[in-house]
Amino acid sequence: MKRLIIGGALGAVAARAAYTALTRRPPAVGDRDGADAWGRTNHRGEPVTLLEGPAFVAGAAAGGLLTPGLPARTRAAAILAGVGSGVFGGYDDLAGSASSRGFKGHLGALARGELTSGGAKIVGIGATGLAAAALAREPRHTPFDVLLNGAIIAGAANLMNLFDLRPGRAIKVGLLAGAPLAAGSSAAVVAAPLGAAAALLPEDLGERAMLGDAGANALGALLGLGATRMGRGGRLAVLAGLVALNGASEFVSFTKVIQRTPVLHRLDMLGRRPAQPAPSPERDDRSDAVQVADAAQ
C-alpha cells in the first residue's frame, strides 16, 4: 500500500507539473506553432489540446523512476513501455492522415507496401512492447511467456486508445482496469500511471484536453505491463479478452454499446457535461477503430 500511495502521488504531481508547463508554452512542431500543432476539435466541435497525452507520459515516467520497490529491470521496462508507446502514439497524433483508418486499414496499407503513421505506430508499439516484456522477464518465464507478455502490452496499448472518444472515458477505463492490479503484486508498476491519469482527469472531463494516442497508448501499455505479472493462465485470459475487444472494435461501435447500456452510460457520463441531444448517426454508427482515427485528426 505504501508503494502505491507514494508512486501514485509522484505520478500525479509530475503529470500536473508537466501539463502546466506544456500548456503554458506549447512546443512547436516543424513549421507549426504549438497551439496549432496540438489543438484539436472534440466531439462537440469545441477546441481541446492533445498536450494531456505528453503530460501523462512525462508524469508516469517520472513517477516510475522514483517509485520505491521496483526492480531495476522492471523499472526500465515500465519506462520503455510508457515512453515508447507515447512517442509512437504522439507521432500518429501529429502526423496522422485519413488515408487509412483503423487497425485493418493500416495493416492493409502495410500489405500494399505503404507505411502510414498508424502503421508505424502499430509496428513501433509492438516492438517496444516485446522489448519491455523481455526486460521485465522473470526467471520462470520461457520465450513463449515473453511473446505472450509483449502481445498483452501492445494489445492493451491499442485497446485503451479506442476508448479515448469521449471526455474522461479512457481514464475511467484505465482506473477501473488498474484497480485490481494495484491491489496485487503489480502495485508498484501501475501506481505512477494511475496517479498521473487521476491527476489529469479533471482536464479531460472538463473538455479542455484529451489523452490522444500518446497518452492513451501509454496508459494501456503500462497497465498491460502490470498484467504480465499474473500467472500464465491469467495472462492467456487477458490476451484473449484484448484480442476479442480489439477485433470487435473494427465492426462494433463501443460508443453505441455504452450509450445503450444504462450502467455503462451512467458511468460514462459521471462528471461530464450533458451529452448533445442529437449525436451524429454518421459518426456513431462506425467502428470505434475508425472513430479513433478521426478523433486524432
- One digit per residue, pLDDT tens: the chain, 297 residues? 888 899 999 999 999 999 999 999 999 988 888 888 999 988 888 899 999 999 999 999 999 999 988 899 999 999 999 999 999 999 999 987 655 565 665 666 666 666 677 778 889 999 999 999 999 999 889 999 999 999 999 999 999 999 999 999 999 999 999 999 999 889 999 999 999 999 999 999 999 999 999 999 999 999 999 999 999 999 999 999 999 999 999 889 999 999 999 999 999 999 998 866 544 444 444 455 545 544 543
Q: What sign does the dihedral 160-163-168-172 (CA atoms) show?
A: negative
Whether the CB-CB separation of 187 and 223 falls below 8 Å is answered with no
Place of cell 491519469: 197
- Give pLDDT tens digits for 154-179: 999 999 999 999 999 999 999 999 99
Q: What is the pLDDT of residue 282?
A: 43
Q: Which residues pair with 49 in a beta bridge?
A: 39, 209
Whether the CB-CB separation of 230 and 252 falls below 8 Å is answered with no
Q: What is the pLDDT of residue 69?
A: 84
Helix axes 143-161, 72-95, angle to 10 degrees: 40
CA separation for the pair 138, 146 (Å, rounded): 9
Taking the C-alpha atoms of 67, 70, 74 and 76 in order, what is their torsion angle to the nearest 10 degrees? Answer: 40
The 10 Å Cβ neighbour count of residue 294 is 14
Q: Give, in order, the Cα–Cα distances in Å from 126 to each of 31, 123, 147, 154, 210.
A: 30, 5, 10, 5, 23
Q: Which residues pair with 47 in a beta bridge?
A: 41
What pTM value is reported for the model? 0.89
Q: What is the pLDDT of residue 35?
A: 87
Whether the CB-CB separation of 246 and 158 falls below 8 Å is answered with yes
Place of cell 508498484: 188
The 10 Å Cβ neighbour count of residue 287 is 22
For 173, counting Cβ atoms within 10 Å of its Cβ (0-12 exposed, 13-18 middle, 19+ buried), the class is buried
- Give pLDDT tens digits for 239-286: 999 999 999 998 899 999 999 999 999 999 999 988 665 444 444 444
